[in-house]
Copies of this chain bind each other. A is one copy, B any other.
């Protein structure tokens, strides 16, 4: 995902391509893990002169537009990552705040079964699995 592609994502969502919005999106995409507002503030305040409220508003608009995914991990604060498709699988340490993203494992069958069993939902868009444990560093 290069800068031009990200610009197009924003445009296609009907949002305006501002310096700050692009910078927020770029920072989320560059991060190796789902990134918090606190971390984004650190990253962006150095280069840009960007207000905290602007970060929150852009994360929100990009999330509503379906460009970003929001994850909480039961940390009491939000984390964001690029909404790439339908799945986001992570292992989360219950002691420290380590998160490890795991790719390449599908649970599509299980999701289909869940939708079949559901009474309130006809179909779904995305899903996330959080597997909890204690990481090697914390054992």
Interface residues of A, count at CB 8 A: 46
**What CA separation (Å) do A29 and B101 show in the bound complex?**
32
| Minimum Cβ distance to chain B for residue A95 (Å) | 10
**What CA separation (Å) do A122 and B100 show in the bound complex?**
12
A136 interface hit (Cβ, 8 Å):
yes
Note all chain B residues with C-beta closer than 8 A to A53: none
Interface residues of A in 107-125 (CB under 8 A from B): 107, 110-111, 113-115, 117-125
Interface residues of A in 88-113 (CB under 8 A from B): 89, 91, 93-94, 98, 100, 102-107, 110-111, 113
Which of B98, B118, B125, B137 contacts A132, CB < 8 Å? B125
A residues near B (Cβ < 8 Å) are 70-74, 76, 78, 89, 91, 93-94, 98, 100, 102-107, 110-111, 113-115, 117-137, 139
